[in-house]
A and B are shown apart, each in its own frame.
Chain A
């Protein structure tokens, strides 16, 4: 939907950074939790690339590992979690290999996070402007006065009047608190901003305002954004690319246009079908049967197979390989084996061939490969 914007980076790159490498490359990231003696495979092999100035949406049901992925990038995980394998390369530098002190250089200065429900994410006994100024002063070495001045600028940037900076978090509305969190996230001019459900706790009107703000900031500052949400409409509006996660793995990934117009993975189709569409004829909401799997004991093979209408025998045994198509969409599903190039294996679906064309916008199977 939006043109790709190139970022205008103000500060020096960290040591060892390669200015020509893609901004963020995550390869086969695996993060496991230890809970009650069992190992929960929360993130089990996620890979994606974020390019400079791009906005990537990370979508999926609750518990699918979106937030854990984000926290893994800056290693903000609870003590019972471990990044088991994989690489996270920012400017070509693998953050996984960095020690605690080395990694801290990257926190907030290169990757910052806007947390969900800023209700409690802000310190209740300190003023907003102080909290925004804090990383500027401590991490960038600015003088307190300069930090406060910059904080006021940032407040203005996100649409909060400067004098409200003296307020405490409880004195602001939910929407303003979220704006303040965004201002705080921008304080050190990071390369990547991660938004973890930034609009979930807000009502629809305020949600629209925040999204508008994020859009504007992307345009003006050339932000690279990872937006985590279960709300596909948010992604549709704000992001360039989308990554659909299911049970810790990638189901489908590609440009928003392609994935939303022609969802290939059965899960994506169901997800899109589950969203009410104002323009379509009246239909009952599609419900995805079953519940998300227990990640300490996930199903063998493709994790979606117990709930998938198209499950074949191979789905229950083998993990589907990721296949990239000509239009840049990546899918992990046995319906699209390597070499199939966009055309799913036809088979009599359990409830009729109609099932494959679940979304009204889906073109006929034998046609349009684009």
Chain B
């Protein structure tokens, strides 16, 4: 894969991140009164004290370019400011502690969704018009129309409240009373089942629909006829010729989806009280904790941009036509 291609993509990603930083900054600082919010906890503050605070926080400097530059430099050094809600705690700490649980939830859910969705979709497309096809398409359409968090609530009601099979809240049982790693992992997994299933179901529909139409399109291509003329058996045709070509749009979709993964995570975490970035976002939202919101937005944007970069690279490995 061409180094020039890679280099260009990295450069574009870098530019976009820079752009995101600027937007992030302008959103919060340029908004009227936001700077004062950092300071004005006390409405009886005197003018002199106000001036002193503004001096201290560098708020009397012009917004552009001084404050902007300060912001970019500070961010590059890893300083994202301090949370309103958690008095004085650096944003990096607040966010950092919540990344792990979210990654665990999203990672598990996404992997399940990809595997199940792609297999179902490929099979439905291969056996077009069969019962799997019709049934699967109908289910996928319904799943797509369903807000994922609502699905989560329903699953919670059925499997947790009514049937009592899985816990409905949190990531671990507080006060488990044992240090046995096996027991703790089992406990964790038990808590993971419902949220991960909710998350996965939301995307299985999308992936299977896409894979299905992808396979159908590929099967109409001439090289499939060539493969049949060669006398290859159906499994081999599917595996060596159809799938590698049908996978390509899926990679693109997964990358685009990465932007929305977080949205799904936010709501699913809310429903199941999963201690991750999602619940943090909702809490920060209701308490208007702007530094934390800013930090989350930055983190999410950067990871989306990076994910797209990775997707571009992976795509170019899979499709030799884009390597120039």
Contacts and interface: CB of A to CB of B under 8 A. Distances in A.
Interface of A: 74, 76, 104-109, 112-113, 115, 117, 119-126, 134-135, 138-139, 168, 170-171, 184
Interface of B: 221-223, 225-233, 236, 240-241, 244-245, 318-321
Given A125-B318, A168-B321, A74 B241 contact: no
18 contacts: A76-B228, A76-B229, A107-B229, A107-B231, A108-B230, A112-B230, A120-B223, A121-B225, A123-B226, A123-B245, A124-B320, A125-B319, A125-B321, A126-B244, A134-B230, A135-B230, A171-B320, A184-B226
B17 to A, nearest CB: 31
A122 B226 contact: yes
A184 B241 CA distance: 16
A113 B229 contact: yes
Identify the interface centre among B223, B229, B240, B320: most chain A CB within 10 Å of its CB. Answer: B229
Contact of B222 (A115, A134, A138): A115
B245 A125 contact: yes
Given A123-B241, A125-B244, A134 B228 contact: no
A144 to B, nearest CB: 13
Contacts of A184: 226
A113 B244 CA distance: 24
A170 B222 contact: no
A108 B321 contact: no
B231 A108 contact: yes
Nearest to A119: B222
Contact of A124 (B228, B231, B240, B321): B321
A170 to B, nearest CB: 5
A41 B226 CA distance: 25
Given A123-B223, A138-B236, A107 B230 contact: yes
A108 B233 CA distance: 13
Contacts of B228: 76, 107
B268 to A, nearest CB: 36
Nearest to B242: A123
Contacts of A134: 230, 232, 240
A144 B228 CA distance: 20
Contact of A125 (B231, B232, B236, B320): B320
Contacts of A117: 222
A191 B190 CA distance: 63
**Among the interface residues B227, B230, B240, B321, which one has the most CB atoms of the partner chain A within 10 A?**
B230
B246 to A, nearest CB: 11
A142 to B, nearest CB: 14
A74 B321 contact: no
A112 B244 contact: no
Contacts of A109: 231
B228 to A, nearest CB: 6
Given A76-B229, A139-B231, 8 more contacts: A76-B228, A107-B230, A107-B231, A108-B231, A124-B319, A124-B320, A125-B321, A135-B232
A135 B236 CA distance: 11
Contacts of A105: 231
Nearest to B245: A125
A135 to B, nearest CB: 5
Given A124-B223, A125-B244, A135 B321 contact: no
Contacts of A121: 222-223, 225-226
A342 B32 CA distance: 101
Nearest to B228: A76
A171 to B, nearest CB: 8
A270 to B, nearest CB: 32
A115 B221 CA distance: 12
A117 B226 CA distance: 12
Contacts of A170: 320-321
Contact of B232 (A74, A124, A138): A138
B232 to A, nearest CB: 6
B207 to A, nearest CB: 20
